[in-house]
Amino acid sequence: MVSMDLTYSRPVKIVLKSAAMGRLRALNAVSKKSIVGKAPITLSLTSYADRLKTVWYTIESLAQGSVLPARFILWVDEEDFSIDNYPELKRLQNRGLEIRFTKNYGPHKKAYPYCLETGGEENLLVTADDDILYPKNWLRYLNEAAVQYPGEFLGYRTHRFTLDAQGQVAPYKQWVYGSVNDALYSNFITTGAGTIFPVTLQKALKEAGEDFLDKSPKADDIWVNIIALRNGLKARKIDHRGMTFISIPRTQKNALHHQNVAENLNDKQLAASITQNEIDLIAQDAPRVSEN
């Protein structure tokens, strides 16, 4: 999860968060401005249950970006979903938001349905989470990085696959953070902060099919990074240039991130997904636990 700038005190964070959400509420009520533009990007996210009541804050924050995507998709799997129950989303739909229904792939809904549908034959894919207010230049910097590093797997936030003394992948809690601008096999991108899925990776995810439902159902980041490695892609962390990410209140308590880390589900799902071939690639540039 990406947090608000830690240099701010808690009272200041509360004031900033309240002001940001109030501004977005006012914009959503009156704006007629299109939320799509000319960047050759499809911006994709998913939401579910009670979070569908607040995801519009995230979408509205992205709609204020200095660069706008060619397509903007919200994937939902609620069988009883009705746009009439979500007036804020309905207003965004009128401004260009696509609300698409898909099978319940859990967190994989934000990327896999698009890859399945287009197979990398349309736009670059960028994913976002549904519990963050994103800063104005978020998509602009991702787009610029895609131009600077064409065909690469790019993201704002990375960890590093870290190896133990036996040369196997250490537990997730022992991993270190990634360094900016290095393309490495050991970089592990967390996709919600902002990620560019190149065409090669989109095609690979489509070809890999629904195997993730058995191996990594609750950790899309693990599956995406393993498929990237399996197809010879290094990952590169790009500089977030001091941008501030604000979490939406009351969306964090049940976030999968906490379950995956606290219950060690990341380690279990990684063990089910990774093969020695991927470990051999990671070992080419991975740090070791004993070195940290």
pLDDT in tens, 224-266: 999 999 999 999 999 887 788 899 987 655 555 555 665 689 9
Q: Does residue 240 belong to any structural domain of this protein?
A: yes
Do residues 136 and 66 lie in contact, with contact meaning Cβ atoms separated by under 8 Å? yes
pLDDT at 291: 53
Q: Percent of the chain beyond pLDDT 90? A: 81
Model confidence over 42-76: pLDDT tens digits? Answer: 999 999 999 999 999 999 999 999 999 999 999 99
pLDDT at 259: 59
Q: Does residue 259 belong to any structural domain of this protein?
A: yes
Threshold 0.85, pTM exceeds? yes
Angle between helix 220-230 and 199-208 (nearest 10):
110
Q: Does residue 5 belong to any structural domain of this protein?
A: no
3-state secondary structure 75-91: EECCCCCCHHHCHHHHH
Q: Does residue 3 belong to any structural domain of this protein?
A: no
Q: Does residue 4 belong to any structural domain of this protein?
A: no
Q: Does residue 158 belong to any structural domain of this protein?
A: yes
pLDDT at 205: 98
In the chain, the number of structural domains is 1
What would the two tokens of residue 228 be? 């990237």
How many whole angstroms separate alpha carbon 162 and alpha carbon 281? 12
Tell which residue, 179, 115, 181, has the closest CA to residue 144: 181
- The CATH number of the domain holding residue 112 is 3.90.550.10
Q: Does residue 64 belong to any structural domain of this protein?
A: yes
Q: Does residue 1 belong to any structural domain of this protein?
A: no
Do residues 44 and 107 lie in contact, with contact meaning Cβ atoms separated by under 8 Å? no
Task: Provide the domain limits for residue 224.
Answer: 10-291
pLDDT at 2: 40
Please give the DSSP secondary-structure letter assigned to residue 169: B
Ranges of residues in the chain with a pLDDT under 70 are 1-8, 251-263, 290-292
Do residues 165 and 290 lie in contact, with contact meaning Cβ atoms separated by under 8 Å? yes
pLDDT at 139: 98
